[in-house]
Amino acid sequence: MANTPQSKKRARQAERRTAVNKARRSRIRTFLRKVEEAIASGDQGAASAALRDAQPELMRGVSKGVLHKNTVARKISRLSSRVKSLSA
């Protein structure tokens, strides 16, 4: 349990940041789910549009410190290759 005023404030800040990060992560997952569903449906146009919408959201997660840069780069790369393979 936090005892000093500083540690109490830090606990409050951590709670707020956790809520913000949780919401941001949830939003990112929603965008990724939309891409996955579009890929599963086999519609390349919808999949590429969903991927275009998801990319800025993923990069925002990187800049806000929710996700690691390489993780997002890997996700975008794998998703874009799957979308590209739909045309073949």
Summarize pLDDT for 41-50 with one digit per residue, the tens: 999 999 999 9
CATH number for position 78: 1.20.58.110
Of 33, 36, 27, 34, nearest to 67 by C-alpha is 27
Q: Residue 87's pLDDT is what?
A: 81
Domain region containing 34? 5-85
- What would the pLDDT profile of 70-81 be if each residue is shown by its tens digit? 999 999 999 999
φ/ψ bin of 65: left (φ > 0), alpha (ψ from -120 to 50), beta (otherwise): left
Instruction: Determine the average pLDDT of the residues in 57-61.
Output: 97
- The number of distinct structural domains making up the chain is 1
pTM tops 0.75, yes or no = yes
Q: Mean pLDDT throughout 33-57?
A: 96
**Whether pLDDT at 31 is above 90:** yes
Residue 1: pLDDT over 80: no
Instruction: Calculate mean pLDDT across residues 56-62.
Output: 97
